[in-house]
Structure 1
């Protein structure tokens, strides 16, 4: 395990970014998507009841202020049961899983799913790597998002991730003008074709929502978005950057992972996604 950034810091960085992304959504969007959130045991628990993507109901950031226990996980699942959440994902760093995790999973209806890779790097190293690369990428320019481009930026973000535009585009766009977020756009021939934003927590900068539309890929846009955000993190006084992406399974290649490694981020650990669904009520 890479110890450049402790798991507690890396997990809190992601948890705070996701908590702020969801809880700051405009009220009509929160109502339409059935959104609610709470903090439990040092972590954050996010529910989106009406989410066809099955992505946004997440519980993470646990193990940083106290141990992960059966009681803690039961409280998390109780929140989801009370919300009527059809499914959720628990994301817990392997270092914080308790010895009785298998029994907890069986009791609460939790099963193992796919895994993510947590990556960390020093801002200084990532910026140095970025400066050493041949820039700019072919036809792509990257710049901070101005308020009058926030709506387009939010639309591109959800399109790039394959999510519905209704509600989700406005949810994403709302963060582009909020304090604490530092959004960037990749442009090609006068249109936004890529997105990425940055959230600062302490001296750590969280990479968030980096993606490029299919027709603009393989031009270096994602790398340029990572580089621009790393430079912004440096200017904001951050010492570390944190990011996540999917693991590579046999026979697959994740370009996002290789772009991050190319810029000097290092794999800290792999973290399984633990899927929760309510157990059928006993007859």
Structure 2
């Protein structure tokens, strides 16, 4: 039995923070002009991936050590020096004093994220979908980062060209981040779905799920989920996690496959950042 407590929250938040830190390091390596970097303050990771990147924020604030005015000022100075907004995504298991400290400094809540988890014992792993001889899943080869990013972006093409372009650029870096295992689902030899996996300290983070519109409802994502979880278990992971908008289809799909909500995070923004 895995209980939702401070230990679990630290495990989940550190895994996501580490995954994002590896992404920022990849950005800095591939695009040094970006100024991408990260630092650690009071156990929290503060990441800068560009002023408009969803990774530019803190992770784990208040979970690994006390956070007072001095620590917040240090974090705020880190983002201010890079002309970036100051954002903190905070678990409800963080130090309760943050609930008073953040509003007192002018922060406002702007977003929720459900953090879900799944034990990875053999009994808990989702059953592999019925075999379709035309459908297969695999980890990509190092030279296939572009293919993986293109497939991931195609899954968002029905939303907007701007979003698809963003996902493509994001995916090219993610596929080359240390510790990330990108997976593809292929139907009759053609890539139809993409998904990412990052394993840290026995915890597997699932992210980047996307299916091209013309191939939806063909079992690609279900096959990718099963493949990634079994691969993670083979790498020694005992827990899987993912994030989703509360009440979204992604959350419902995760719960359908056995994931449970650990908690809902609140993202806090400093006005005028």
TM-score bin, normalised by smaller chain: 0.7 to 0.9
Matched residues in 2 for 1:277 and 1:49: separation? 18
1:142–1:185 Cα contact (<8 Å) kept: yes
Matched residues in 2 for 1:112 and 1:71: separation? 21
Structure 2 residue aligned with 1:70 = 69
Structure 1 residue aligned with 2:115 = 118
Structure 1 residue aligned with 2:103 = 105
Q: CA deviation at 1:174?
A: 3.9
Q: CA deviation at 1:58?
A: 1.9
1:81–1:278 Cα contact (<8 Å) kept: no
TM-score by length of 1: 0.82
CA displacement 1:69-127 (0-9 Å, x = unmatched): 33322222221111111x343111111043352442341x4211121111111112576
1:130–1:263 Cα contact (<8 Å) kept: no
1:2–1:266 Cα contact (<8 Å) kept: no
Residues 67, 157 of structure 1: CA spacing in aligned structure 2 closer, same or farther, 3 A cutoff? Answer: farther
Structure 1 residue aligned with 2:90 = 92
Residues 257, 95 of structure 1: CA spacing in aligned structure 2 closer, same or farther, 3 A cutoff? Answer: same
Matched residues in 2 for 1:217 and 1:101: separation? 42
Matched residues in 2 for 1:276 and 1:126: separation? 44
Structure 1 residue aligned with 2:209 = 210
Residues 178, 46 of structure 1: CA spacing in aligned structure 2 closer, same or farther, 3 A cutoff? Answer: closer
Structure 1 residue aligned with 2:263 = 269
Aligned residues: 266
Residues 30, 165 of structure 1: CA spacing in aligned structure 2 closer, same or farther, 3 A cutoff? Answer: farther
Instruction: Provide the secondary structure at the position in 1 that maps to 2:61.
Output: coil
Instruction: Provide the secondary structure at the position in 1 that maps to 2:258.
Output: coil
2:139–2:183 Cα contact (<8 Å) kept: yes
1:118–1:242 Cα contact (<8 Å) kept: yes
Structure 2 residue aligned with 1:238 = 237
RMSD, aligned CA: 2.8
Unaligned runs of 5+ in 2: none
Matched residues in 1 for 2:24 and 2:66: separation? 25
Q: Does 1:128 align with 2:154?
A: no
